[in-house]
Structure 1
């Protein structure tokens, strides 16, 4: 993915966030966090440490 695709993706996230209510956005954030934790636990339990997700946070612009 190049910079233009990344910026387009961030712009679409910003539009989506503005179009939905804060409660719905927070639900989506919570689901993403749960999926992230689930993936980490799955990788650790199956010994696939090299497949762990990145640890940095993504902040939409």
Structure 2
């Protein structure tokens, strides 16, 4: 399995509520010492956003 294929299988999906906006990845409660730089994701209009660094898919639940 290629590195790219392995990365795609490790992608995760996270459900967030409007109370958690503005949305950033990594989320504030995650330990950031071993993660990528914080990036804010526009999720309000479409209800979904994907982090350009780690590929985490966020879904707005309400």
Check whether TM > 0.5.
Answer: no
Does 1 or 2 have the higher relative contact order (CA < 8 Å, sep 6+)? 1
Task: Return the structure number with greater strand share.
Answer: 2
Task: Return the structure number with greater helix share.
Answer: 1
TM-score normalised by L of structure 1: 0.32
Which is higher, the Rg of structure 1 or of structure 2?
1
